[in-house]
Amino acid sequence: MKGLKGALMFAQSGGPTSVINASAAGVFIEGLKSEMITEVYGAAHGIRGILNEEFYDISKEDMEELLLLKNTPSSALGSVRYKLKDASVDDTDYKRLLEVFKKYNVRYFFYNGGNDSMDTCNKISKYMAKSGYEMNVIGVPKTIDNDLFGTDHCPGFASAAKYIATSIMEINLDAKVYDTPMICVIEVMGRNAGWLTAAAQLANAKGLGADLIYLPEVAFDVNKFVADVKDVMAKNNNKCIAVVSEGIKNADGVLVCEALGEAGARDSFGHAQLGGVAATLSNIVKAETGSKVRAIELSLMQRCAAHCASATDVEETFEAGKQAVRAAVNGETDKMVCYARAEGEEYKCEYKLLPLELAANTEKTVPMEWIINNGTGISDEFVKYALPLIQGEVNMKKEDGLPRFAKLKKVLATKK
């Protein structure tokens, strides 16, 4: 059954990526073209913008700027980490959402985010269906972590992986420049899934990678780590590059950055604020070896370095946004757009739909059989999987030798 004629609401959630706005561009451009869609709204700071009736009228934007969104990192509309309660416990927010949707005749809602956001999206979809308000709700995936269930890969992952592999190749050349001992510990994002850390293996495949790679999928033992580093140093002309996930945990499941480093804050989802594990491990190996040690956090750069994005990722992410709108207009609801790899030798991405409840809150981690060398290496299976995704260079618009990112007018929709 086709959707009703009405307004489109799009919102971004969670940690941004360097290509997240490509989905926004896809949703907006497809939405503005559709005869079924009367208005195109972009919510300021995710779900909160809807609750507060703060959303932008996208028809007021220039098409050229909407296209520049494809290469503009971070959530252009603003993001949020806001957890909706279960409607059975407290339905205040849901009632308010329904009120706003009705007031603005919003018949299409798209939520762009990771696991938590797909859960939020699923809850909203269920509530609206139960309340009898006819609308179609589609999740648009987004996460550098690549940990969403049911999709071959996630929008944003490949660009972060490309930046990480490129940077590790460059760091590898730099770190080996002196003929003196040198240990380099590089920290990569990833709470429970080691996909991004595994991207170091793409650099290894080019002969300029890491000697040791530690994923959160395997329990981390600091004594073994020190022994591993010493072993590499002995074999490798006193040089060692180790890449660690910020999310590595000890055998008791305690984050290494909490067990050995400073205890961090927690966000509104109860997730620990990660980071600092490279510095902690560096201090330990420095004390143990006396070598020069450098701790490098790829920090925010790995999720916002749009200048080093994968063109494949950008185009797929843009298409994911368009596919979401087409699906919703054609009557699909309570689904997430996902990627499938077409059969055959040549890489080709196909777009499918997955029930939201399957995507919500299920984390897909790196297959254990891809983790080799006693938990310090990644197999070629990963390279075969990830290499097609990082292909292609973005032809980013530049101005004075620097990126020309999208400048949105952000005209608030007229209050109704």
Residues annotated as catalytic are: 145
Q: Which of 303, 322, 335, 364 binds a copy of itself (CB under 8 A)?
A: 303
179 binds a copy of itself (CB under 8 A): yes
In order of 155, 163, 305, 332, 352, the CA distances from 158 in angstroms are 7, 9, 12, 27, 19
Q: Which of 3, 16, 216, 375 binds a copy of itself (CB under 8 A)?
A: 16
230 binds a copy of itself (CB under 8 A): no
Closer CB to a copy of itself, 80 or 356, in the complex: 80
Q: Which stretch binds a copy of itself (CB under 8 A): 138-146, 190-198, 200-208, 331-339?
A: 200-208
In order of 59, 122, 240, 281, 349, the CA distances from 292 in angstroms are 56, 50, 11, 13, 45
Strands 371-372 and 377-378: antiparallel
Q: Which stretch binds a copy of itself (CB under 8 A): 59-67, 98-106, 363-371, 394-402?
A: 394-402
269 binds a copy of itself (CB under 8 A): no
Q: Which of 104, 190, 405, 413 binds a copy of itself (CB under 8 A)?
A: 405
Closer CB to a copy of itself, 132 or 290, in the complex: 290
Closer CB to a copy of itself, 234 or 300, in the complex: 300
156 binds a copy of itself (CB under 8 A): no
> Which residue type occupies 228?
D
297 binds a copy of itself (CB under 8 A): yes
240 binds a copy of itself (CB under 8 A): no
352 binds a copy of itself (CB under 8 A): no
279 binds a copy of itself (CB under 8 A): yes
Size of the residue set binding a copy of itself (CB under 8 A): 62
Q: Which of 18, 23, 122, 146 binds a copy of itself (CB under 8 A)?
A: 18
242 binds a copy of itself (CB under 8 A): no
43 binds a copy of itself (CB under 8 A): no
Closer CB to a copy of itself, 357 or 388, in the complex: 388
Of 248-267, binders to a copy of itself (CB under 8 A) are 265
Kindly report the three-state secondary structure assignment for every residue of the chain.
CCCCCEEEEEEECCCCCCCHHHHHHHHHHHHHHCCCEEEEEEECCCHHHHHCCCEEEHHHCCHHHHHHHHHCCCCCCCCCCCCCCCCCCCCHHHHHHHHHHHHCCEEEEEEEECHHHHHHHHHHHHHHHHHCCCCEEEEEECCCCCCECCCCCCCCHHHHHHHHHHHHHHHHHHHCCCCCCEEEEEEECCCCCCHHHHCHHHHHCCCCCCCEEECCCCCCCHHHHHHHHHHHHHHCCCEEEEEEECCCECCCCCEHHHHCCCCCCECCCCCECCCCHHHHHHHHHHHHHCCEEEEEECCCHHHHCHHHCEHHHHHHHHHHHHHHHHHHHCCCCCEEEEEEECCCCCCCEEEEEEEHHHHCCCECCCCHHHEECCCCEECHHHHHHHHHHHCCECCCCEECCEECCCCCCCCECCCC
Closer CB to a copy of itself, 343 or 399, in the complex: 399
Closer CB to a copy of itself, 252 or 345, in the complex: 345
Q: Is there a contact between 343 and 335 (Cβ–Cβ < 8 Å)?
A: no
310 binds a copy of itself (CB under 8 A): yes
Sorted by sequence, the CB contacts under 8 Å of residue 409 that are 6+ apart come out as: 60, 61, 62, 65
Q: Which stretch binds a copy of itself (CB under 8 A): 61-69, 92-100, 178-186, 348-356?
A: 178-186
Q: Which of 9, 11, 37, 80 binds a copy of itself (CB under 8 A)?
A: 80
**How far apart are CB 353 and a copy of itself at their closest, in Å?**
28
393 binds a copy of itself (CB under 8 A): yes
Closer CB to a copy of itself, 1 or 265, in the complex: 265
181 binds a copy of itself (CB under 8 A): no
Residue of 396, 373, 334 lying closest to 129 (CA atoms): 334
**How far apart are CB 35 and a copy of itself at their closest, in Å?**
33
Which residues bind to a copy of itself, rule: CB under 8 A? 16, 18, 45, 48, 72-75, 78-81, 162, 165-167, 169-171, 173-179, 184, 202-203, 205-206, 208, 265, 273, 275, 279, 292, 294, 296-297, 299-301, 303-308, 310, 387, 390-393, 398-403, 405
